[in-house]
Structure 1
Amino acid sequence: MKIRHYLVILGALLLTGCSQPAAKAEIRSGGGGTIVAINHTKWAINHFSVDGQSGIDIIGPYQGGGGGCCYGVPAKWRPGMTVKVDWETGVGYSMDFPGYADEQKFLSWAKKIKAQNKQHSAVVPVPDYTGQKTCGITVHFMPCDEVKVTTSCVSPGRPGYPINEPLQMPEPKVCPK
């Protein structure tokens, strides 16, 4: 019974955190929701944030995830509105994992994997959501380190969802600059 009591309290605290105003309450007074992401690339997203608010999950290649609580958008969209997305990419899988038995081999492998991590940052335009209900923010990580965002309440893949690129997008040989 005690464990159940603690779980109820923990759940209430988590939900209460989502109902609290964001640090910039005067800016984020519109619809609230979570921060989620869809990764259209072969790289893993080791971590990401939107305007400094964590997206929580690691997202594998060609997957979705996130779940950071809570993200609110301004009540009214303004021309030129943007968000800053920071993220780290890394290897999505490793076929040459040596195991843990030989510490030197493992440390050498871990160093090689970590050396492939890259830090990214982009200021991304927020599409006009005038007259629409907003539900947090969904970040789409695209090839060539491009990012798109939406505040749509429509689920990805459903009619009316504004970003319709395929999940498994090939990386071009040369990325536009």
Structure 2
Amino acid sequence: MRKRFCRSVVGAFGLALMSALAACQSLGKEPTFGADLTGIDHLADYLSVSDFSVNGAWGAQAGKGGRTTCCAVIPEKWHPGLKAHVKWSVSDWKHGGGDFHEADVPVDQYSRLGHMWVHFLADDSVRIVVSDIGPYAPDYPGPHDSIPQKYPWKQYPPPTRKGPTFSEDELEKYNLR
């Protein structure tokens, strides 16, 4: 009986010690949240953000704010100096070609968790807004400039450039006409 008691005490002590060590390890790590991610393209009608990522989380093609992916990891609480690493490519449908961009972007202050909206603005800047309110709402905390409703791949003929070309079937299949 005494052996069982000792084993129980040692087991309880071991469990308490492991819990204390785990608590110490978690100090300094801030709690995070997985936010849905949507890009919004404010660029000229012949340009489009083809693909983007935020801290490695893929964001698909930015557009009118309707395509959402999961998830960009952000701190549960905003703090001064909070930035996210954004990579994006821009296709030029009028002139052909495009550019690749990369930047550390400040995250707008937020007090409540929500969706991560990544705005690719006409002045070549990027703005990240975390909000449970969408960009079409009047009280949205992000930019209120117009969000172009565009389809540059339909407006501009396929550019003449070296590289892959689409067959008529592919153009139809991917709704590029």
Same fold? TM cut 0.5: yes
One of 117, 121, 129 as aligned partner of 2:102 = 121
Task: Report % sequence identity.
Answer: 31
Q: 1:66 to 1:121 in 2, by over 3 A?
A: farther
Who is 1:41 aligned against? 43
More strand by share: 2
Length-normalised TM-score, structure 1: 0.59
Length-normalised TM-score, structure 2: 0.59
* Counterpart Cα distance in 1 of 2:108 and 2:36: 17
Which runs of 4 or more aligned residues in structure 1 lie more than 4 Å from their structure 2 counterparts after TM superposition?
Answer: none
Counterparts in 2 of 1:25-64, with a 5 A limit?
Answer: 26-27=29-30, 29-42=31-44, 43-56=47-60, 58-60=61-63, 63-64=64-65
* Counterpart Cα distance in 2 of 1:141 and 1:75: 24
Aligned-pair distance for 1:122? 1.7
Task: Tell me if structure 2 keeps the 8 A contact 1:120–1:145.
Answer: no
Aligned-pair distance for 1:30? 3.8
Task: Tell me if structure 2 keeps the 8 A contact 1:34–1:70.
Answer: yes
* Counterpart Cα distance in 1 of 2:83 and 2:147: 24
1:20-73: CA deviations, max 9, x gaps?
Answer: xxxxxx45x3443311011111211110000111002x235xx23442211232
Which ranges of structure 1 fall in alignment gaps of 5 or more residues?
Answer: 1-25, 95-111, 169-177
Count of aligned residue pairs for this structure pair: 117
Which ranges of structure 2 fall in alignment gaps of 5 or more residues?
Answer: 1-28, 149-177
Who is 2:78 aligned against? 77
* Counterpart Cα distance in 2 of 1:52 and 1:35: 12
RMSD between aligned residues? 2.0
* Higher relative contact order structure (alpha carbons within 8 Å, sequence separation ≥ 6): 1
Report which of the two structures shows the higher radius of gyration computed on alpha carbons.
Answer: 2
Who is 1:166 aligned against? 146
